[in-house]
Structure formats: structure tokens, C-alpha cells
Chain A
Amino acid sequence: MSSPVIQIKSPEELAALRTKAHAALDGDSVRIVVCGGTGCSSNGSKDVFAALQAAVAERNIPVRVDLLDEEGMQNLSMAFSGCSGFCEVGPIVRILPENYFYVRVKAEDAAEIIDKTILANETIERLMYKDRHTGQPYARRNEIPFYANQVNVVLTECGLIDPGDIREYIGHDGYKALADSLYNRPPEAVVEEITKSGLRGRGGAGFSTGLKWSLTAKVPGEKKYVVCNADEGDPGAFMDRSVLEGNPHAVLEGMILAGYAIGADEGYVYCRAEYPLAVQRMRIAIKQAEEANLLGDNILGTAFSFHIKIKEGAGAFVCGEETALIASIEGMRGMPRPKPPFPAQSGLWGKPTCVNNVETLANVTQILLKGADWFRQYGIPKSTGTKVFALTGDVVNTGLIEVQMGTTLKDVVFTVGGGIRGDKEFKTVQIGGPSGGCLTKDHLDLPLDYDSLRSVGAMVGSGGLVVMDEETCMVEVARFFMNFTQQESCGKCVLCREGTKRMLEILEKIVAGNGTVDDIGDLEEVAEAVRDGSLCGLGKTAPNPVLSTLKYYRNEYLAHVVDHVCPAGQCANFKTYSIIAEKCKGCRLCARKCPVGAIEGEVKQPHVIDAAKCIKCGACLDACRMQAVVVE
């Protein structure tokens, strides 16, 4: 929703607006929040929102139309928020102040929600989240194990506020850190506070943010830049997307603060093209902040000016790497260049540039609002604060989670994530995407933080956590990631360009059942060479999935090449599908499901699978109700 143009000329005016907006948000009024994140939207949350609005109108319930509408102060209010994190059970409807939490809501449920929950304060059990094993229903959001075990620093306002109304952000202490810093803290003190907080970059490498800022601040130069890295190319990760969509102003405020701290007057947000909603929300937020005098020339009446532009990526993973990203903003092919010089010394158009990730910048705002000591109470001494992870794959509760740094893998997968789907066994977690590594059952007690993960050959990376069950073949996992990096290698340096190709060839050979023991040795050798000799982070980390699967699952590689079996039963070439004639009733269910038409037979007669056509996708196995399809 949009808000009227507001103008703020001083910290006092900001404080006055904050008090008003806070009172409005916190008043006695009931607030219905419908999740408008990408996940819930794709499941029809817009229709749910419209149906709720219609139901409210039909009953003539007074609604507060505008946040600061004095007359409507005690009335019901409605908001369409950003991502609430629990995408699996969307569309989500949250009702405040009770914090009731309804899941899988349909437009048809709207009338009942209004009549029972809003008008009679009765909860509706059918719409509550229920424990998968015990069936226990949870009425309130914070009682649900998925949320109860999270700690929110960055995601607090996502799924709570309307990202399209700057006043709601201001009502949640938004831009207070900026006003305080501009008026009461010299730039060096801002850098000092960030350094003290121990914040490390959330974009992958985990470099100290305070140190990066002080380096950039010290480089002499009139013109400097701040770049917000919102490229998020790691497949299986959507943290940055959700933050941009759910609370864009928090990222803007972090960027402006970074600009103030390092002495920059211009910033760029580099957002991947696959995130149109994030770009749209960011554009609106920039416009509102400019109108409100919180961005642009002479911010809040001070001498400090800062401008922000958005650049959309065009689909290249390597552009997440900071030097490639800079080349891309300049309008060139997004190829990395050797470091040093680091962007802090010579970045965008040769000027000192500070590149920070979305989540890093959102943390900055919170640290400068609440203090470094407050931040340090979360996490562990060397990895302070929280980390947002995208929990996906074969886990019960998929979604966006935020936990303290140093939370164990077990707590993430089993307590927050609710364990493995379909009651299968946990096998592995792939963390950090194509640059990361895998964690096994033996690592369940491992704390998730920068240094512990590095010590076992994995990394926090951007925060993608893909859980895989016992039916996962680790050689295939390595092949999958190598296929990705090989395609995304920009081709500038030989080791990465050729090395990823060779590794992919070997992995394909093993997965196809033609590998030999020598191939494993070759694979290891190439992997080490690529790791040690590539130009940028993409090549240096590309062998990680290979090296870590070789380290922890060497047996599986050997089984493929020596015994010619795929222990997980995944690799198609080791499988044949057939139909047991005695069990087949000729119902044609499998034939209809087969995507390649490989199953033939007359109705009510036993069917057969044409091995030459079969692509071994397993659709027939899932379709058959007679257990007539078998795999060997």
C-alpha cells in the first residue's frame, strides 16, 4: 500500500512522527496482517487479503484507512506485509495484538475469521498450525516450534509491517539510528561502534564489516561509493530477497549510514533480475525516503547528502563477486579482476568503494539503533549476532529462519525445521551453495558459525541450507553443483574455465556408471589445482562440493566405480524400471503419468515399460497403486 508524501526536516519532526506512528501501530486496535511475500503471494494471499477486506466491509466494521487517521485510531487495521518466513504453510494470516497465526488460509475462510476471531475473539482450530506427530494445534505465532526457537534481529519487522508505508517503518524506530548518528556521532564513532559489534559480512566471506569500513574511510578521495550486493545468486537461498521485500527501508538506512561512515555520497543497489518484486519495493522505498528528506541532499537538515540508484542484474552468478559486480554496474561484462587493489582502494569507476551484502546492511541499522553491546549478546564471541538461513530441501518446515550464530545443526534441522520429511533418515546438509560443502550426521552437534564451518571444509556462505535425506546420492550432488559452476564460470582464467569442465566430465562419467578408480584420483587432483589457482572466489570455491563429498562420502564414489551400484539408488543409469505382470491390473495410471510415453499396454492387460524410451524418472513408481512397478 502507498502512503501519502511526508516531509521531515529535523530529528524532532522525525521523533514526533515516530511517536504518532508508534501509537497508531500499538493502539488497542486489532491488526490483520496478510503475508505478501513471494511464497504466500504465489499461493493466492492477494485473494485472501481482498476477501478479508470484503468481509470487513460487508459487516460495516470501521477500518482505519490511513495509519495516522486520528478518527480511526481505535479501529481495525489491515496490512499486506513482506515474507513471514514460514512459506511452506502459506498463505499466512496473523492477527495482532493476540498474535494469532493462521496457516493455509483460503479466500473462503475470510468470513469465518472476521466473525469468529475478530468479532468474538474466538480462535479457529482448523486454521492453526498443527504438530505433524502429535496433532497439537498452536494458536499463537510464537508458540510454534518453528518460530519459538528463532531469534530475530534482521527479520523482526518482516511479516509485520507494510513495506510500502515508510511511516510504519518509522513507527518501529526506523531512521532513528540515522538521525542519532548524523547529529550525535561523528563518522569515526559509527565505524567504531560497528567494529565493536563484531559484525562480519553476511555475503559469504565473513570479513569484518567495521574493518572494511575503516579501510574505505581512510583512503583519501572526494568521491566514494557504497554498493549493496543484492545479487543473491546462490541457488536455494532467498534471505536477501525476503529482507528487501519485507523491510526495504532497513537496508536503505544501513546504506546511508555506511555512506556517512566512510564519506560517500552515492550508493548503488545491485539486485538480480529474477527478483522483480524486490526491485519494485526498493524503488518505492527510495522514492519515499527521498520525499521525506531521509535520502538525497542535506539529509534531515544536515550537510550530509547521499543518493541511491538501483541497478538490475542480468543473470550471471559471478556478478555476486564484488569486482565482477562493479564491472557490471559500469556496463561491462561481469568479469572479476585480481585483488588487490581491493574495491576499498579502487572500486566503482576507480573510486574507493564499500561493497556490503543486504543482510549485513540490515544488521548495521539494528546495531546503530540498539548498540554494539546489545548485538554482542547474540551469537558467540567470534561470530556475533544472528544469521538468516533459507531452510529448504527434504525438511518438514521449509522457509526463512533466523537463529543465533553458533546454533547447532541439529537444532536448526530438527527443532526449527521439524526433522526430515516423510520420516526418512537425515543424510546431509549442503551449506553455502555451490561454493560450500556438505555436513553429515557426525556434524549434527556442530555450531553453525564462520570458524566452525570453515574447520570442517564448509562455509556459512550466503546462508542456503539444503537438507537432503537418505535417498540422496552424494556423487550426483557433486555433479549438480559442478554443472552449475561450470556454466557460471566466466571463462576469464584457464583453471576455472577448463578445470570445472574436466571435473564435470569425470563426475558425469561416474554417475553414468562408466567411472574407474583412477577417475577419483584425477578428480581430486583437478579439484585441488582449481582451488589453488583460480582468479576469483568462484573458481577457488568451485571444488568445495567435490572435495567435501570426497572427504565424507568416498565410499559412495567407490561404490559407483568398483561395485557399479549407486548406494542411494538415485543414479538413473544404475536402475531399471519394470512392471510385474501378475500384479498389474492394466489401469493405465502409470502410462498416463509417464512423461515420455514409454509405457504400453491394453486397458485391463498387464503393461510393459520400453527400456529404450524410459528416462527413469520414477513417475510410474509413484503412480502405481498395485505396487506392480519395481526398480532394480
Chain B
Amino acid sequence: MTQAVLDRPTGQERSFVRVQEIIQECGASESALIPILQRIQDEYRYLPEEILSYVATVLDISPATVCGVATFYAQFSLVPKGKHVVRVCDGTACHVRDNRALIESVRKRLKITGKQITSDDNMYTLEIVNCIGACALAPAVVVDEQVHGQMTGEKILKLFNQIDAKDKEAEK
């Protein structure tokens, strides 16, 4: 699904057919704005600006309202995310079980520095999040919606290698 969307032309030529479908499924009302944006993000891995304007027009609300909602919630991203999203929990339970070294290993492995969160090859996005509800297995990490508990720097590097290998396999 996602790959097909990314291969579509960008900018002006982008097809709004899929967006229209999503709006229809969720209902074209302001109260459905958040579910609509969630579905769009599932599809495109972020919220492209021209799609936000399109949504505003269809729902008959101001683009500022749509943008206001899109920037308020942490789940939404206005820039493209990497192919794999790695969420390292920094909630209380995970913080107490010392996840600093874990976060550093991930940053080092993905070669991301400073405020950067997506690796240069657009393969991975690192998000530091507050609690994913697996606190009893701290420190916890979610990679592509799969929870991994009792994580260590070594375990996560292994995980990255497995994902890379799988990707390579799929390319062939």
C-alpha cells in the first residue's frame, strides 16, 4: 500500500482519489477530522500540505483549523517519516530502567545527530515517546507497531540487522 503511494507523482499531479475515499469512509464532517488525518498519515506516512488544504476544502473548514489540529497532536507529522518507525519509550518506568545508552546506540547506528530524527537514507525514523504501556518490560521499544520489551543496546542492533536483511530479501 504505502510503497505504491510513494511511487505516485508528487506535487500538483498528486491524485486525490484515495483521499476522497478516506473522507467518504470517515464521513465528511468536522468531527471526523482527526480520524481522516490518521488514515491519511497511515497511507502517506505523513500529512502532505496540499492534502491538508484539500481536506479543508472538502470539509468546508479553514485550512488554519486543519493545520491547527495537525500540529497539535504528536502523532501527526508534516514531514515524511522513514520506512520503519522506531519508537523508544522514555516514559517513567523506562527512564528509571536506564534507557540512555539504548537511545544513544540507536542514534549511532542510524547516524542521526542533533535534532535530526530520520536517517539520511529515509529508512528509519527515531521517535522518543512517553509510555507505550509495556512498562513492566522496561525499557520498551516499538518497531513498526511491534513491541519489544527488556531492550538493550545489543538487542536493538540485532533487530536493525534483521530488518535490513528482510528489506534486502524483499528487494530481490
Binding site for B on A (CB under 8 A): 38-39, 41-43, 87-88, 232-238, 241, 273-276, 311-317, 328-334, 390-394, 398-400, 430, 433, 464, 466, 468, 472, 480-481, 484, 488, 490, 593, 595-597, 615, 617-619
A314's nearest neighbour on chain B, judged by CB, is B73
Contact between chains at A464 and B68 (CB < 8 Å): no
**Bound Cα distance A276, B101 (Å):** 28
B65's nearest neighbour on chain A, judged by CB, is A332
**0 or 1 for each of B107-148: is its CB under 8 Å from A? (1 = yes):** 110000000000000000000011111111110100001111
Contact between chains at B134 and A38 (CB < 8 Å): yes
Our pick among A328, A331, A490, A595 for the contact of B105 (Cβ within 8 Å) is A595
Contact between chains at B91 and A399 (CB < 8 Å): no
Minimum Cβ distance to chain A for residue B132 (Å) = 5
Decide if B104 is an interface residue (CB 8 Å cutoff): yes
Contact between chains at A236 and B100 (CB < 8 Å): no
A491's nearest neighbour on chain B, judged by CB, is B72
Our pick among A238, A314, A332, A430 for the contact of B38 (Cβ within 8 Å) is A314
Chain A residues contacting B129 (CB-CB under 8 Å) are 274
B95's nearest neighbour on chain A, judged by CB, is A480
Contact between chains at A399 and B133 (CB < 8 Å): no
Contact between chains at B92 and A38 (CB < 8 Å): no
Chain B residues 37 to 83 lying within 8 A of chain A, measured CB to CB, are 37-38, 65, 68-69, 72-76
A615's nearest neighbour on chain B, judged by CB, is B104
Decide if B93 is an interface residue (CB 8 Å cutoff): yes
Contact between chains at A400 and B133 (CB < 8 Å): no
Take A236-B131, A311-B34 as given contacts and tell me if A393 and B153 are in contact as well, using a CB distance cutoff of 8 Å: no
Our pick among B31, B97, B149, B153 for the contact of A330 (Cβ within 8 Å) is B31
Our pick among A39, A41, A273, A394 for the contact of B136 (Cβ within 8 Å) is A39
Our pick among B35, B72, B132 for the contact of A334 (Cβ within 8 Å) is B72
- Identify whether the interface residues of B are mostly helix, strand, loop, or mixed: helix
Contact between chains at A331 and B32 (CB < 8 Å): yes
Contact between chains at A273 and B33 (CB < 8 Å): no
**Bound Cα distance A597, B73 (Å):** 36
**Bound Cα distance A315, B93 (Å):** 19
Contact between chains at B92 and A430 (CB < 8 Å): yes
Minimum Cβ distance to chain A for residue B45 (Å) = 15
Contact between chains at B136 and A236 (CB < 8 Å): no
Chain B residues contacting A617 (CB-CB under 8 Å) are 100-101, 104
Our pick among A42, A314, A399 for the contact of B146 (Cβ within 8 Å) is A42
**Bound Cα distance A484, B90 (Å):** 10
Chain B residues contacting A399 (CB-CB under 8 Å) are 136
Chain B residues contacting A311 (CB-CB under 8 Å) are 34-35
Our pick among B38, B130, B131, B149 for the contact of A43 (Cβ within 8 Å) is B149
Contact between chains at B135 and A333 (CB < 8 Å): no
Contact between chains at B38 and A42 (CB < 8 Å): no
Chain A residues contacting B101 (CB-CB under 8 Å) are 595, 617-619
Decide if B163 is an interface residue (CB 8 Å cutoff): no
Contact between chains at A238 and B34 (CB < 8 Å): no
Chain B residues contacting A595 (CB-CB under 8 Å) are 101, 104-105, 107-108, 153
Minimum Cβ distance to chain B for residue A458 (Å) = 14
**Bound Cα distance A618, B107 (Å):** 17
A-B contact pairs, 14 of them (CB 8 A): A39-B149, A232-B133, A236-B135, A315-B76, A332-B30, A333-B68, A333-B69, A334-B72, A392-B138, A393-B96, A394-B96, A488-B130, A595-B107, A619-B153
Minimum Cβ distance to chain A for residue B170 (Å) = 22
Contact between chains at A596 and B132 (CB < 8 Å): no
**Bound Cα distance A157, B159 (Å):** 35
**Bound Cα distance A237, B149 (Å):** 15
Minimum Cβ distance to chain A for residue B30 (Å) = 5
5 residue pairs, one from A and one from B, having the closest CB atoms: A235-B91, A87-B136, A314-B73, A315-B74, A595-B104
**Bound Cα distance A273, B35 (Å):** 11
**Bound Cα distance A480, B140 (Å):** 17
Contact between chains at A38 and B138 (CB < 8 Å): no
**Bound Cα distance A481, B91 (Å):** 9
Take A275-B133, A393-B97 as given contacts and tell me if A464 and B92 are in contact as well, using a CB distance cutoff of 8 Å: yes
